[in-house]
């Protein structure tokens, strides 16, 4: 029997290093691939996954595992999709999640396609998630380590990709991952987790807005829900729904950003009760295994590493869904992803999409 | 493994290895030392200098050993421009040079120099008149490569030197001749150049050794300062085993140049014919006739070179595509963009370069898999 072939997306971090090591141990014919996503040598020397130091780390891990290692240049794709979307979203008053978009358009699209062209049976990454086959369908489950779970950023995987994806560290918790790396003497064993957006230099988002997003850096008014001007903002790209700090306004009660109005170049603020949301409209929806019955009970996660809240899910048309929360929730930013977990099997992600609109709880009441 | 990447590097020849070995363990002296081990090492260096000089048509005193081709280019470009700073601040080069020249030229712009990079047409052959018209009274250095490293095209060096000198006789003319050695009969006097860079590992020598031809009387400012080796132009203890190997490699390269060209031309032509029948829309980059015989550079429309390269590697065939950056990723070739190939097409480039040990079996191996690999790579959207 011929060995199954796996391409592992290696970032130079400990998780993808252990993913590769696990597949080697499981008998796969493994090829490591790192993506070069940024033009020039390096966007971010401190963190991220596309600098030369990270490539050297990944290459040395591949050497230890005795697997072929290549760096694929997908900088044009990344720039024209993920970075462009990031800028467009901020300019239209939304708060994008570039890691989701990178998974959607780069890792599980451009890379996936190339891995398959190279003859791979599966594409593996270092995400904390799991894939399980049940009732004839491949299903995405949360990683065993609740605190590290990354299923939220993988909601876009369709059956086609789920059937050919694998997440070896999803079975472990993070300390276990590090222990495996240390046992194998991989040089990435103690490397800190990357936190920042890989293409924002030195993690300085404020400077990035000024330099790269002129449309989102134009000053404008801060207003309340009645349209009364309370102050000036420094460009809508620097504000996100739920934000309290940096408004520079004092009116006696704490004020929060409740809406970013790109059309009027205004930031809308209000007291905490104006942050509550009872309903979401979610677009670009993908259901990885099957389209659920309307009104299904779900747990909805609306930000990375955020809490889930119960509600019902109502698919509309081919790629839209409405979430009705049982109890109002706070601070939902359009542009972020909503991931749906089946309330009866709360580990299973059944779908997700991009939040396009919210209904304020006060409006319903 | 079928190795068709001889412009990247070549295996060390057995004769070269044998010439190097004594200087690793037995005759390990420092050629600057007065004692007999030092003198033996010094003799080996001077013997190699004679051989290299013979191979390029210079006198031995005009050969400066360096740490490789890029090292030699840096000495020529930075050293020449800075020494003649009193005459002007203008440099002429081409848009498709090796980074060994483009890098130092770019660095010099930060030192107050102005650099003109003349355009090169789709033929990949530089027009001497275009170089001449870019040359000014204030031009201190002109640098044009003899043979392009990616597309193999041969530049008319003698005509370029004549054209430049007729405009400004004081301008130094340098040529990066790294890809010329072993692929062309070399005579630096016939070319009339002032400076020429060479590298050992492209011709069966070891890596990390090169030479700069510096015409007698041509002024240069050193780039590396120290103990004053190599007439003060390239300080640092000489790499005796490497230099000894380079001497033998250069001698063999010059002696066997015609024989090798005939050998690799047959293989190259057969590979191209096979590729054309497998992939009829293949595009050959640069003039096929005015290039060294062992080079084939093509673009495969609607395919990514990086995927073709990986698939070929998996099939046991080593070739190259575009230019590798520090991380190992492949960027579209600046050479192909410089000769007018579109960015989209340039992404699908492949370079096959043959050496004296290449065989029909290497060509057969490529042709056996090529059509299937292209079909596989074309499944991937841009």
Query: Chunked in runs of 10, what are the mean pLDDT values of chain B (382 residues)?
Result: 96 98 95 95 98 98 98 98 97 97 97 97 97 98 97 98 98 98 96 98 98 97 97 97 98 97 98 98 97 97 96 97 79 93 94 97 98 96 71
CA angle B178, B73, B335 (to 5 degrees): 65
Give mean pLDDT, residues A191-195.
79
Residue A49 has a pLDDT of 47
A116, with CB counted inside 10 A (0-12, 13-18, 19+), is middle
- Burial (CB count within 10 angstroms: exposed 0-12, middle 13-18, buried 19+), residue B232: middle
Answer yes or no: do B380 and A59 touch at CB < 8 A: no
CA A251 distance to own-chain centroid = 36
Model-level pTM?
A: 0.91
Both tokens of A244, joined, read 């309290």
Contact indicator for B237, B229 with CB cutoff of 8 Å: yes
Reply yes or no on whether A102 is catalytic.
yes
Alpha-carbon dihedral sign for residues B56, B59, B65, B69: negative
Compare A196 and A364 and report the one with higher pLDDT. A196
Give the integer Cα–Cα distance in Å for A123 and A143: 17
Give the CA distances from residue A17 to residues A8, A13, A69, A144, A286, in Å, rounded to whole numbers and listed in that order. Answer: 9, 6, 12, 18, 29
Helix intervals (H) in chain A: 14-25, 52-65, 75-78, 84-91, 98-102, 112-117, 159-162, 174-183, 205-212, 361-364
Cα of B87 vs its chain's centroid, Å: 29
**Residue among A41, A51, A73 whose CB faces B306 most closely:** A73
CA dist., res. A133 & res. A283, Å (int) = 27
pLDDT for position A47: 42
> Does the pLDDT of residue A361 top 90, yes or no?
no
Query: Which residue of B307, B310, B327 is in closest CB contact with A55?
Result: B327
Cβ contacts below 8 Å, chain A against chain B, sum to 53
Residue for token pair 């489950």:
A141
A87-124 pLDDT, tens digit each: 999 999 999 999 999 999 999 999 999 999 999 999 99
For testing the chain B interface, which of A71, A75, A123 should be mutated: the one with the most B CBs within 10 Å? A71
Q: Which residues of A touch B328 (CB under 8 A)?
A: 34, 55, 59, 70-71
Q: Which of B34, B325, B361, B382 is catalytic?
A: B325
State the pLDDT confidence band at A187, using cuts at 50, 70 and 90: confident
Q: Indicate the length of chain A as a whole number.
A: 365
Evaluate the CA torsion angle A86, A124, A50, B9 in order and state its sign.
negative
From CA B14, how far away is CA B273, in angstroms rounded? 33
Cβ distance A157 to A41 under 8 Å? no
CA distance B19 to chain A (A): 32
Lowest mean pLDDT of A8-17, A43-52, A189-198, A213-222, name the range: A43-52
Phi and psi of A33, rounded to 5°?
Answer: -130, 130
- B381 to chain A, closest Cα gap in Å: 8
DSSP assignment of A214-255: GGGS--EEEEETT--EEEEES-GGG--TT--TT----SSS--
Q: Measuring CA to CA, which residue among B189, B172, B188 is closest to residue B180? A: B188
Per-residue tokens: B224: 């590396």
Query: Are the C-beta atoms of B332 and B343 separated by less than 8 Å?
Result: yes
Q: What is the DSSP letter of A192?
A: P
What pairing do the DSSP bridges indicate for beta strands A276-286 and A266-270? unpaired
Provide the pLDDT for residue A50: 52
How many other C-beta atoms can be found within 10 angstroms of the C-beta atom of residue A117? 20
Instruction: Please indicate if any CB of chain A lies within 8 Å of the CB of B1.
Output: no
- CB A315, CB A130: distance < 8 Å: no
> For chain A, what is the mean pLDDT?
92
Q: Which pLDDT tens digit goes with each residue over B159-208? A: 999 999 999 999 999 999 999 999 999 999 999 999 999 999 999 999 99
B310: chain A residues, CB-CB within 8 Å: 70, 118
């Amino acid at each position: 029997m011929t060995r199954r072939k796996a391409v592992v997306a290696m970032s130079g971090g400990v998780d993808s290093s252990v993913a590769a090591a696990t597949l080697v141990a499981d008998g796969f014919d493994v090829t490591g691939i790192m993506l070069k996503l940024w033009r020039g040598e390096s966007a971010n020397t401190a963190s991220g996954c596309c600098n030369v130091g990270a490539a050297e780390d990944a290459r040395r891990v591949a050497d230890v595992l005795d697997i072929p290692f290549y760096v694929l240049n997908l900088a044009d794709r990344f720039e024209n999709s993920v970075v462009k979307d990031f800028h467009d979203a901020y300019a239209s008053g939304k708060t994008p999640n570039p890691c989701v978009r990178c998974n959607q358009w780069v890792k599980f699209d451009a890379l996936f396609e190339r891995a398959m062209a190279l003859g791979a049976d599966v594409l593996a990454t270092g995400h904390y998630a799991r894939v399980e086959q049940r009732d004839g369908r491949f299903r995405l489950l949360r990683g065993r380590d609740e605190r590290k779970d990354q299923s939220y950023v993988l909601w876009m995987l369709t059956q086609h990709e789920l059937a050919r994806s694998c997440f070896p560290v999803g079975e472990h918790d993070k300390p276990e991952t590090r222990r495996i790396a240390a046992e194998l003497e991989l040089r990435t064993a103690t490397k800190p987790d990357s936190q920042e957006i890989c293409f924002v230099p030195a993690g300085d988002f404020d400077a990035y807005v000024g330099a790269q997003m002129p449309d989102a850096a134009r000053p404008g008014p801060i207003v309340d829900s009645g349209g009364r001007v309370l102050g000036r903002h420094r460009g809508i790209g620097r504000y996100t729904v739920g934000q309290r700090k940096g408004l520079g306004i004092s009116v006696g009660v704490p004020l929060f950003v409740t809406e970013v109005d790109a059309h009027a170049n205004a930031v809308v603020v209000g007291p905490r009760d104006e942050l509550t949301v009872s309903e979401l409209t979610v677009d670009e929806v993908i259901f990885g295994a099957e389209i659920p019955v309307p009104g299904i009970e779900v747990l909805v996660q609306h930000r990375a590493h955020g809490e889930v809240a119960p509600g019902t899910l109502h698919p509309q048309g081919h790629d839209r869904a409405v979430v009705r929360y049982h109890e109002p929730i706070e601070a939902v930013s359009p542009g972020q992803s909503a991931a749906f977990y089946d309330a009866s099997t709360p580990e299973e992600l059944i779908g997700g999409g991009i939040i396009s609109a919210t209904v304020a709880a006060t409006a319903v009441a | 493994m079928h190795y068709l990447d001889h412009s990247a590097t070549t295996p060390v020849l057995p004769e070269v290895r044998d010439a190097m070995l004594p200087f690793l363990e037995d005759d390990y002296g420092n050629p600057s030392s007065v004692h007999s081990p030092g003198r033996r090492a010094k003799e080996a260096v001077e013997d190699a200098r004679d051989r290299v000089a013979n191979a390029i048509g210079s006198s031995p005193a005009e050969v400066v050993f360096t740490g490789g081709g890029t090292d030699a280019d840096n000495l020529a470009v930075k050293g020449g421009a800075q020494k003649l700073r009193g005459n002007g601040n203008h440099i002429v080069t081409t848009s498709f040079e090796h980074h060994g020249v483009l890098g130092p030229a770019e660095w010099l712009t930060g030192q107050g120099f102005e650099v003109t990079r003349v355009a090169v047409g789709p033929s990949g052959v530089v027009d001497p008149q275009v170089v001449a018209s870019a040359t000014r009274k204030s031009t201190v250095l002109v640098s044009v490569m003899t043979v392009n490293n990616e597309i193999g095209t041969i530049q008319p060096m003698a005509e370029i030197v004549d054209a430049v000198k007729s405009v400004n006789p004081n301008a130094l003319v340098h040529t990066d001749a790294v890809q010329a050695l072993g692929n062309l009969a070399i005579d630096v006097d016939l070319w009339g150049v002032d400076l020429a860079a060479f590298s050992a590992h492209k011709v069966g020598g070891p890596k990390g050794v090169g030479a700069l031809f510096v015409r007698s009387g041509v002024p240069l400012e050193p780039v590396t300062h120290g103990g004053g080796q190599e007439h003060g132009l390239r300080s640092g203890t000489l790499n005796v085993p490497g230099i000894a190997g380079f001497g033998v490699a250069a001698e063999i390269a010059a002696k066997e140049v015609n024989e090798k060209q005939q050998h690799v031309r047959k293989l190259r032509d057969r590979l191209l014919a096979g590729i054309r029948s497998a992939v009829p829309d293949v595009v050959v980059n640069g003039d096929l006739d005015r290039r060294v015989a062992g080079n084939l550079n093509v673009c495969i429309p609607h395919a990514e070179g990086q995927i073709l390269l990986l698939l070929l590697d998996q099939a046991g065939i080593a070739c190259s595509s575009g230019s590798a950056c520090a991380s190992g990723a492949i960027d579209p070739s600046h050479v192909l963009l410089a000769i007018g190939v579109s960015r989209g097409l340039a992404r699908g480039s492949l370079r096959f370069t043959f050496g004296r040990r290449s065989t029909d079996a290497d060509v057969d191996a490529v042709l056996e898999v090529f059509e299937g690999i292209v079909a596989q790579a074309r499944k991937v959207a841009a």
